[in-house]
Amino acid sequence: MANITGVVTTSHIPSIGRAIAKNLKEDPYWKSFFDGYPPVHDWLKQTQPDVAVVFYNDHGLNFFLDKMPTFAVGAAPEYHNADEGWGIPTLPPFRGDLDLSWHLIESLVADDFDITTCQEMLVDHAFTLPMKLLYPDAGACPIRTVPICINTVQFPLPSAKRCFELGRAVGNAIRAWNSDSRVVVIGTGGLSHQLDGERAGFINKPFDIRFMDSLVSDPEWATRYSIHELVELAGTQGVELVMWLAARATLAGDVKRLHSNYHIPISNTASGLMVLA
């Protein structure tokens, strides 16, 4: 049976793509952000995952408002990045894992999750930049991937509780997968930020720190909040923390924080990073 090596949660801000392309890792603005990642690289070298299941949210690259799935699972042999309109460099395609995709799809539907399956799926910065942060070497990403997209564009969004349940079901499915693969689970987005309205620039550091702490020993803490309350606490885009919840929920039993980083601001966002196992 497959095993989960651990969980990585990270922010996915578009300007990271520009900073990588311009090699700004040592720039004073960027240094404390990028300095968070070498310990993750070391952990990935030690644990050697073969495949990544990635919870992320599309920002209008693959999905438009004509069809907006709440939960979408990738089932493509390859996932392509593309122009998102504001000129960050396009990254090479990512290899899929069709066996794991269809195992997850069958298992999730059996568990009463009404998902959308995607045999073609463009992946935007929320998928590509975290993979590049984790695997920064030139060329294509060295491990296989299965993207799972959660709608955070059009309300009503799925509740934090439902996203946690989705993650738990994905974790159980991975552990029941008849494969000797080692699987890392990634959740991207957040932490607190708001891009739109007169409240743009809203950041809530005490909430973010409390949320990150909760993921270690009280992972369902944030599921007590409605999406509306999470917008109030973390900002309209801060609700992306549901990706962190889904990723965390794949782990069973006692969990340790192996690494974390938190930095304000990158762009308009409080950026966060955690490794849990």
Partner 1 sequence: MTAMTPARKIPGTTLFDGEQARKGYALNKMCYSFNDAANRAEFQRDEDAYCAKYRLNRAQRDAIAHRNVLELIAAGGNVYYLAKFAGMFGLDVQDIGAQQTGMSKDEFKAMLAAAGKVEA
Q: What is the DSSP string of 117-153?
A: EESS-B--HHHHHHHHHHS-SSSS-SSEEEEEEE--S
Comparing CA positions, the residue from 21, 35, 79 lying closest to residue 53 is 79
Say how far apart CA 57 and CA 60 lie, in whole Å. 9
Active site residue 80: no
Comparing CA positions, the residue from 152, 164, 172, 50 lying closest to residue 104 is 172
Active site residue 103: no
Smallest gap from residue 161 Cβ to partner 1 (A): 11
- Which is closer to partner 1, CB of 86 or CB of 217? 86
Token code pair at residue 230: 């999470």
- Which is closer to partner 1, CB of 214 or CB of 268? 268
Q: Tell how strand 94-95 and strand 71-74 pair up.
A: unpaired
Smallest gap from residue 191 Cβ to partner 1 (A): 11
**Chain residues in the site for partner 1 (CB under 8 A):** 15, 59-61, 64-65, 82-87, 153-156, 194-201, 203-206, 208-210, 226, 228, 231-232, 236-237, 263-265, 267-268, 270
Smallest gap from residue 175 Cβ to partner 1 (A): 32
Place of tokens 């070497």: 137
- Which is closer to partner 1, CB of 25 or CB of 210? 210
Q: Tell how strand 71-74 and strand 51-56 pair up.
A: unpaired
**Cβ-based neighbours of 265, under 8 Å, separated by 6 or more:** 203, 271
- Of 80, 125, 228, 263, which residue is the catalytic one? 125
Smallest gap from residue 199 Cβ to partner 1 (A): 3
Smallest gap from residue 24 Cβ to partner 1 (A): 15
Angle subtended by helix axes 227-234 and 241-248, to nearest 10: 120
- Of 12, 103, 193, 263, which residue is the catalytic one? 193
- Which is closer to partner 1, CB of 181 or CB of 237? 237
- Which is closer to partner 1, CB of 80 or CB of 175? 80
Could you tell me how far CA 126 lies from the centroid of its own chain? 7
The full length of the chain comes to 277
Q: Quick check: helix, strand or coil at residue 60?
A: coil
Catalytic residues: 125, 193
